[in-house]
Structure 1
Amino acid sequence: MTTQPAPVEIQFDPDQEFQHDAIRAVVDLFRGQSMAPSQFEMSHDGAQGALISHVGFGNNVMVADEQVRANLDEVQDRNGIPAAFRGLANDAVSTLASWDFTVEMETGTGKTYVYLRTALELNKEYGFTKFVIVVPSVPIREGVEQNLRLLQSHFADLYDGLQYGVVKYDSKDLARLRGYANSNSMQFLIMNIDAFNKTDTNKIYDDTQDSMMGNRPIDFIRACNPIVIIDEPQNMESDTAKKAIAALNPAATLRYSATHRDRYQQVYRLTPVDAYRLGLVKRISVWSVTEELNGNKPYLKVLKVTAKKTTVTAQVEVSVLTDDGVKRKKVNVTGGRTPTDLRKVTDLDNYDGYVVEDINAEGGYIEFTNGTVVAVGDTEGASHDEVQRAQIRATIAEHLDRELEFHKRRNDPGFAPTKVLSLFFIDKVAHYAPDDGKFRRWFTEEYNAAKARPKYADLDLPAADKVHDGYFAVDKKGTVKDSRGSAATADDATAYELIMKDKQRLLSTDEPLRFIFSHSALREGWDNPNVFVICTLNDSKSEMRKRQEIGRGLRLPVDANGNRVTDPRVAKLTVVANEAYDEFAATLQHEIEAETGVKFDKTSIENARAKRVPVTRQPNTINSEAFNDLWARIQHRTTYQVTYSTSDLISNAAARLSRKPSLVGAKIRVVKSDVDITTDGVHADVVAEKSAITVQNSYPIPDLLGNLTRLVPVSRASIAQILIQCGRLGEVTTNPQQFIEQARDAIDQTLAELLVDGIKYEKRGTGTNSLYEMSLFLDEKEREELAARVYEVTNTNKAPYSHVVWDSTLEAEVAARLDAHEDVLVFLKLPRWFLIDTPVGPYNPDWAYIKQDEDGHQRLYLVRETKPTQDTSELRKKEHLKVEFGYAHFAALDDVNFGVIDSADQIAEGS
């Protein structure tokens, strides 16, 4: 017979200041209340007409409403509660809007401990004995019950041996409510909201139940005048739920959550930023497992479907061909009379047939003419299996690395062995539960491969079948099934009860189980402190809220002795996500702002966005001799001619294409970032990257000539010769889109070289449109610009406008230096209408100015472009070409010197 490892007894710290503050915030609301136990009688007529009575005990709240109002003011002032969260009724000055109070505490900081101990403090100071804990789901109910059992001895030590009763509401055992009501000791009743929010079907409202003395079961609760504690109240804000809670006849209602929807009267607040800053939760890292775009498959994700009175539209994310390659883009699509054709939107052949046939708002999906149906939140065209397997591999590696780290520290002073757990959320039980389930199979293969690595030899790892298990709902036939995570069914309860019972055993380092698979049972309510890695496996990006996702692992870990570990080297949570790390951070920040009301400080630029300043013309400059002299030099428009040899284009482009790297399949990239939550926002910084995983596929060859003819200004015949002469058509099936982009790049680069060498600019002469008219300065409307995006000119005789609008910090520095430089007579940021024609589109240079020598005799007429580097070959293709054509344009003008600068120190250079 196998001996089960002894469970780890978690040691609770009773002296955490933030928890004391949260407890006192509620207890102090009732200052002025005296010890006053309450008794009541519930009776019925016996069979022979005799009156049978039962004495019950409840809460007798006598403190005046006005006193609680005053207490509330003091508590809110003490805890710095924002005015928006204070919950005063419009017509209430000295009275309460209601006796509903909220406590906000970040997930993982001991919310359950705080409200249970608050109840004990209320009992100690005021004699209150009856408490009802209302929860929104089965897992939270099971978690609360387990915590009450687990904390019994801890609380007995703190409160002179105090014992309390725990009643979990069960409609099949209603007699327990009589015991709850009749007991004169402290009692907790735990109820799921679904058990009493339907007056027509819930047994708690039935007055014909046996042993209820002709009363409704709920009457026994009502008579106790209980203090109602609501766990996760944001899930119980419907009118039906509110009426059900009011039916309990609460003396007061205390609401505890990290994400309140309605704050009523808030008395304490511990935000995610506070918890992270104070080290009350684990640090967070993210392994981002993402497939890079390749354009060979029609990637499509349906983001949302919106129904209006006369139209139904949808927003989708697709791959789009751009000048910089294939990029993802969000686009709005329509059906009906003007159906969206994604082939035209994306400019990619693989979207042929993706014409919107139907957008179904009720079903939440889009159907295309090729028969493809994609639901909201689902993704088409991604390499699901490859990404999911990479996530499993990354999770196992991260887990074993943590075990190895702790193993190496086993002899460090003050370090105790610490169990590492990893948690997988999966989309379908069928992907794991059967012996041939893909997640089970992949996990076993990847675990065995990792176990065989010499790196982990010292860990003496158990066999694969000992280290993982699933916790799923089970029906009456013993068959595991998907669950919703919130249903109060017996089938779902099996999963919750099992994992709750195992919670402390799982903390033992002698227990081989360390990888836990769950469908939805553990999304809320179950908080094992030693979850160090969380991986969400699904067919698209996680539909779970980020705060809900990381919430299962935020709690500080415990070592083998049951002591909390605050060492930041240990207290770290890693999330393995199928999305980019910056997207993960942005979503997490958005959720924190939306759910908690936290407003992150922005940069000085963003804080100043609301402030705008008027930009006005400065006639002193515009009418000056110096400004007119400068304008006379640069005002000429030009035309250009280009000559090049087609044979040179074909041979040079083919040679360049032949030298391009060999084509490779699409890659899955695995990148790790550390997440930091500060008052500025949620930030993610890359700290590690694994070798990319190549997805091996062979794709059909698209219309190469047709695609390239659209992308480059070269004849179809020339393109055909380039492709033939490059000698690489045999490898196109490996990655057709990559080949198209290589071919486009080779042709564009070759063409650019020929254009730069073969272009010639000359002035347009004296006819119409031959000059940039100075009158355009006077035609421009004076405007307001963002204060954070302008430089205010000091010398009113030096620039045509009062402010210079800049697009980068370098431009701001250049403006300030031009303004201050003694040898600069006049300068201007060239207006957006000052455009030079080039073969790759209009070009708008940055600066024009006059620099004179120290004696004031010689003037230099300078036009400068500000770029991150003076080596224009390092710029993006079009930027590089436009600068090169800029040199050619200004060379055609008289005495104008054009150049590129990457520092404000260079404004005086050039001749």
Structure 2
Amino acid sequence: MKLKFDSTLDYQRDAVSSIVDLFSDFPLRGSTFSLASQSVNQLGLTELGVSNPIPSDQGEFETVTLTKLRAVQERNGIEMSETLDGLNFSVEMETGTGKTYVYLRTLFELNKVYGFTKFVIVVPSIAIREGVLASIDLLRDHLRSLYDNVPFDASVYDSKHLGRVRQFATSNTVQLLVMNIQAFQKDVDEASDPTKANIINREQDRLAGRRPIEFIQATRPVVVIDEPQNMESAAAVAAIARLDPFCTLRYSATHKRPYNRTYRLGPIEAYDLQLVKRIEVASVVADENPNAAFVRLHGVDVTKSRAQVTINHGRGKAFKTKKLWVRPGDDLHQASDQRQEYATGWIVSDISFRPGAEAVEFTNGSEVTIGEAAESFDEDTRKAQVVETVRQHLDKEKTLRPLGVKVLSLIFIDRVANYRACDDDGNPTPGPIAQWFEEAYSDLASKPRYAALGLPPVAQVHDGYFSVDNKRRPKDTRGDSAADVDTYDLIMRDKERLLSLDEPLRFIFSHSALREGWDNPNVFQICTLNESRSTDRKRQEVGRGLRLPVDQSGERVHDPQVNRLTIIANEAYDQFARELQTEYEEDTGQRFGIVPKQAFAKLALPAGVGEPPAAPLGEAVSETVWEHLKETGYLDAAGGVLPKFNPTADDFELDVPAEVVPLRAEITDAVSRYVFANRIINARKRQTVRFRKQVSLDADFKELWERISKRTKYRVSLSTDDLVSSAVSAIAGADPIEAPKVRVRVVELEHSRAGIASDKQIDQHEYATAAPTVLPDILADLQNETDLTRATLVRILRESGRLSEFAINPQAFTVMVTAKINSVMHRQMVDGIKYEPIPGLHWEMRRLEPEASEEIERYAARLYKVQSDEKTLFDHIEIESEVERRFAKGLDDNVKVRFFMKLPAWFTVDTPIGPYSPDWAIVFEDSERVYLVRETKGSADPEELRGREETKIRCAREHFDAIGVDYAVVSRVDQVVGRVP
């Protein structure tokens, strides 16, 4: 199976042209160069090479380039640069959207348009280097087909093979040289000992006394920096400058310093355009252990010689977890309000303050680190993560296998030995994680619901990518050592093979190798198994699985219902969402929920009939509109959206400057994208389907409901014996006591410019934890809570038949028994127990109505409430813009519209450039009945629609003409009326 690449994606072509257009209409000249030997020990050899074109006048070139840069920035809606920050140009592209593809396309486009042939790709690590080389191999045929089979060579700089540098310089074909920053960062001038400088910066007899870097410098290469945020040190910046580049192109999703930002495709834009998978978080969080000597270390304070911990405190209903500071000599038995579990040596004996090894030791020999709490359910949590990963994987495989989509799961571990260890003879043995996995897979795969999958044996479905020592034993590494090279080679070589359904491997375990530089489009689950909450950056974790998947023909799958990445995280989903949002803000420099002054720069006024399309408003006009919105009370001084902006109100009309009134709806939409509250409210209001009244009116259903819906009341009167008897009955009838749980909640993270919402829960379940090892004095605790004698309590416990459950969860059992006894005692004045109906009180049928909202969950974002129920299928319509809201209202209000509906996303028309989804189906009734299909746009002028969009619309028009349906593009309802025959 070979991956296929689409050369027609608009956003990628925009990114390429944004760089290429910087140098248009300016004369560049090609040149050769010569390097003569400077060594007295060598003959006067001359090396002739071919340079990239260079400016005839560097000063004039930079002046013109700044003008070109500002023009590109304005069309891309980016704040324009006042000055040129060198010939450095930053392209920001979200992980998974084809960054490497884009910059390779850009290099070949620069060759095609301007004749550039020398390109250096600088990377920060072995992993990324291997990823780049793998991408070049995968794209070789694709690039040649796009660029008339232009010959090119790609090589890696290797100090042991300096002949490649000479070949790079002297060849007249396209040359791609991939270099690790570490290979040329140490300069002769920086080293006290010249022999400590990188070989590339030292004179070489094999090169006629020249330094290898001189060959690269003389070519004036175009330098691409892949992940430049990792190369911002002074030494790295100086090393890149020593390459003497014609220009430097910087590609990343997370720039630290965006030199001359030229193009931006951020995480929210990628999410909105459905260029990456949607993200779900399966939050796996254990209850705190209420039945043990639980201690979790949060941190240490070396200045005050103390540590902060959380422990269990109190008993029965007074139980809680308590955070406190402790010092050597402190006794947790006293600090916990005399909890029995802490009575045996839980006295602080020592605190380690060493960074990375913080710990608290106790006199009983126990030790608590930040990595793992004492008497916690951390191991249960990690095991539940493994089970959850397998379950999520098999569910997706069941759905996607018929579509020809291979499902992969990626599992990071923090210690190799936890997955694969070695015995004394060096033979590999499964670690605990491998054992958990094999148990979970064997158990789940045997269930009937997965029988049709024909799953491979457990031994074939999982494997690990780990570096090895000189005895071939797996070992922990950071991912950037020489030992990792073979590991990366194996990973990259297997990338396409892993996509085949014929390959049984589905679950991939890694220590560090896959954290950057590698991804696979068919990774649908990512699980990070740490002995504490994951401290890795969320974007790094998520980035390994964001790419859209491919099917068995190598084609990308664009179905949003398929494209969902599940992160199995050992933390609460709202915490995950908050941290992910914080990282987005840190990485992009953009605050969520704040409307920037450039928000309207790309909007364009509608052109008159026969007139050319109008230019975008631009930065200056956008700022004027922004200031107007601030002055009229829609925005605060920072750009935050104020309550006055309420587009969901029926009478709302945004006050905009007179010159942009035709763009009122588009400006309203632009501001709406930054309103976080709107998205949260709409995500919770899911009443998207009209309640089926005919069911509630059915006689049989009424009879059933009449029988089961009545309410009752009861009375109780007890003596002491009756108290025992009733308490026993109440306890015996209580819900079973369960062990504390590891709880899984799966939520979808909704991305918007307003923020990361995590309120859409789509699944939940639980796993049991291990039984407690210490049991408290239950009679003492119950006496304290009920004031009954020990003898009475013993009778109740024995006769209840539930005492064995005390050992399962002492805390929960004690709380339940206390509540039942107290409840019975509160009814002692009642003489016995008697049930009787309460006349006129019953469960009301209308309470069933909200359940109808579960029928179509996808219509839950932004809704228009239909006023004319007889006109459409649903009582709410999902709309995507203010233009659509007004159009829906116009159809709703117009008496000549007999019926209308918003067509679902899967209703598509095939076109040569991809599927097309029309917006509306309408039945219009005047003197005769007419059936219409309409597309709503801010402008109906074909000249204002982007090329690919207009092509799809033209295809759709032909399609609907062929089947006899009237089709048009409109922006207002009166245009519908005007076009009806």
The two structures share one fold, judged by TM-score above 0.5:
yes
**Residue from 808, 812, 815 that aligns with 1:741:** 815
CA distance in 2, matches of 1:121, 1:419: 34
State the Cα distance separating 1:560 from its structure 2 match.
1.1
State the Cα distance separating 1:276 from its structure 2 match.
0.9
CA distance in 1, matches of 2:394, 2:371: 32
Match in the other structure for 1:177: 165
Rate the CA distance shift 1:440–1:183 in 2: closer, same or farther, 3 A: same
Rate the CA distance shift 1:390–1:101 in 2: closer, same or farther, 3 A: same
CA distance in 2, matches of 1:316, 1:649: 46
Alignment of 1:87-106 (within 5 A): 93=82, 95-106=83-94
CA distance in 2, matches of 1:361, 1:435: 33
State the Cα distance separating 1:229 from its structure 2 match.
1.4
% identical aligned pairs: 42
Query: Is residue 689 from structure 1 mapped to residue 775 from structure 2 by the alignment?
Result: no
CA distance in 2, matches of 1:392, 1:284: 19
Match in the other structure for 1:270: 265
**Residue from 419, 423, 426 that aligns with 1:432:** 419
**Residue from 5, 9, 23 that aligns with 1:30:** 23
Cα offsets for 1:570-625 (capped at 9, x unmatched): 2222222222333322322222223223322299999999999xxxxxxxxxxxxx
Q: Tell which deviates more after alignment, 118-127 or 648-657.
A: 648-657
CA distance in 2, matches of 1:347, 1:196: 63
State the Cα distance separating 1:561 from its structure 2 match.
1.1
Rate the CA distance shift 1:601–1:44 in 2: closer, same or farther, 3 A: same
CA distance in 1, matches of 2:92, 2:272: 16
Match in the other structure for 1:121: 109
State the Cα distance separating 1:657 from its structure 2 match.
5.6
Query: Is residue 480 from structure 1 mapped to residue 474 from structure 2 by the alignment?
Result: yes
Match in the other structure for 1:669: 743
CA distance in 2, matches of 1:193, 1:720: 78
Cα offsets for 1:281-334 (capped at 9, x unmatched): 012223233322341234444445566xx44666555556699876667x4636
Cα offsets for 1:461-513 (capped at 9, x unmatched): 2222222221111233322212212x131x11111100100111111222222
State the Cα distance separating 1:51 from its structure 2 match.
1.3
CA distance in 2, matches of 1:229, 1:380: 49
**Residue from 20, 32, 37 that aligns with 1:39:** 32
Secondary structure, in 3 states, of the residue corresponding to 1:473? Answer: coil
1:377–1:543: 8 Å Cα contact kept in structure 2?
Answer: no
**Residue from 586, 590, 610 that aligns with 2:582:** 590
Alignment of 1:589-628 (within 5 A): 589-601=581-593
Match in the other structure for 1:572: 564
Unaligned runs of 5+ in 1: 1-7, 410-416, 613-644, 757-911
The one-letter code matched in structure 2 to 1:689 is Q
Match in the other structure for 1:539: 531
Alignment of 1:341-380 (within 5 A): 344=335, 350=341, 353=346, 355=348, 357-370=350-363, 371-380=365-374
CA distance in 2, matches of 1:350, 1:610: 53
1:36–1:126: 8 Å Cα contact kept in structure 2?
Answer: no
Secondary structure, in 3 states, of the residue corresponding to 2:430? Answer: coil
State the Cα distance separating 1:444 from its structure 2 match.
2.5
Rate the CA distance shift 1:152–1:611 in 2: closer, same or farther, 3 A: closer
Rate the CA distance shift 1:299–1:166 in 2: closer, same or farther, 3 A: farther
Secondary structure, in 3 states, of the residue corresponding to 1:181? Answer: helix
State the Cα distance separating 1:730 from its structure 2 match.
5.2
Match in the other structure for 1:11: 4
Rate the CA distance shift 1:111–1:699 in 2: closer, same or farther, 3 A: same
Alignment of 1:862-877 (within 5 A): none
Rate the CA distance shift 1:219–1:302 in 2: closer, same or farther, 3 A: farther
The one-letter code matched in structure 2 to 1:423 is L
Match in the other structure for 2:773: 699
Alignment of 1:794-809 (within 5 A): none
CA distance in 2, matches of 1:327, 1:590: 31
Secondary structure, in 3 states, of the residue corresponding to 2:27? Answer: coil
Q: Tell which deviates more after alignment, 724-733 or 215-224.
A: 724-733
Secondary structure, in 3 states, of the residue corresponding to 1:513? Answer: coil
2:737–2:808: 8 Å Cα contact kept in structure 1?
Answer: yes
**Residue from 552, 559, 572 that aligns with 2:551:** 559
Rate the CA distance shift 1:334–1:115 in 2: closer, same or farther, 3 A: farther
Secondary structure, in 3 states, of the residue corresponding to 2:207? Answer: coil
Match in the other structure for 2:48: 55
State the Cα distance separating 1:272 from its structure 2 match.
1.1
Rate the CA distance shift 1:320–1:580 in 2: closer, same or farther, 3 A: farther
Rate the CA distance shift 1:193–1:658 in 2: closer, same or farther, 3 A: same
Secondary structure, in 3 states, of the residue corresponding to 1:474? Answer: coil
Q: Tell which deviates more after alignment, 468-477 or 724-733.
A: 724-733
Query: Is residue 107 from structure 1 mapped to residue 95 from structure 2 by the alignment?
Result: yes
Alignment of 1:679-828 (within 5 A): 679-684=753-758, 685-690=760-765, 692-704=766-778, 722=793, 725-727=796-798, 731-746=805-820
2:407–2:522: 8 Å Cα contact kept in structure 1?
Answer: yes
1:303–1:377: 8 Å Cα contact kept in structure 2?
Answer: no
Rate the CA distance shift 1:343–1:103 in 2: closer, same or farther, 3 A: farther
1:290–1:669: 8 Å Cα contact kept in structure 2?
Answer: yes
Match in the other structure for 1:397: 391
**Residue from 240, 246, 252 that aligns with 1:245:** 240
1:292–1:669: 8 Å Cα contact kept in structure 2?
Answer: yes
CA distance in 1, matches of 2:221, 2:736: 73
Larger Cα-atom Rg:
1
The one-letter code matched in structure 2 to 1:496 is Y
CA distance in 2, matches of 1:346, 1:36: 83
CA distance in 1, matches of 2:204, 2:42: 19
CA distance in 1, matches of 2:519, 2:531: 25
Match in the other structure for 2:151: 163
Match in the other structure for 1:492: 484
Rate the CA distance shift 1:374–1:385 in 2: closer, same or farther, 3 A: closer
CA distance in 2, matches of 1:420, 1:492: 26
Unaligned runs of 5+ in 2: 421-427, 596-633, 644-717, 831-981
Rate the CA distance shift 1:667–1:37 in 2: closer, same or farther, 3 A: same
- Provide TM-score, normalisation by structure 1: 0.69
**Residue from 171, 174, 193 that aligns with 2:181:** 193
Query: Is residue 70 from structure 1 mapped to residue 63 from structure 2 by the alignment?
Result: no
2:89–2:250: 8 Å Cα contact kept in structure 1?
Answer: yes
Q: Tell which deviates more after alignment, 286-295 or 532-541.
A: 286-295
Cα offsets for 1:155-194 (capped at 9, x unmatched): 1111121222212122222232122122222212112222
- Provide TM-score, normalisation by structure 2: 0.64
The one-letter code matched in structure 2 to 1:41 is S
Match in the other structure for 2:253: 258
CA distance in 1, matches of 2:135, 2:367: 46
Match in the other structure for 1:471: 465
Tell me the C-alpha RMSD between the 2 structures: 3.7
Tell me the number of residue pairs that the alignment of Structure 1 and Structure 2 aligns: 694
Rate the CA distance shift 1:53–1:657 in 2: closer, same or farther, 3 A: same
1:654–1:723: 8 Å Cα contact kept in structure 2?
Answer: no
1:658–1:726: 8 Å Cα contact kept in structure 2?
Answer: no
Cα offsets for 1:534-567 (capped at 9, x unmatched): 2222222223222111211110011111111111
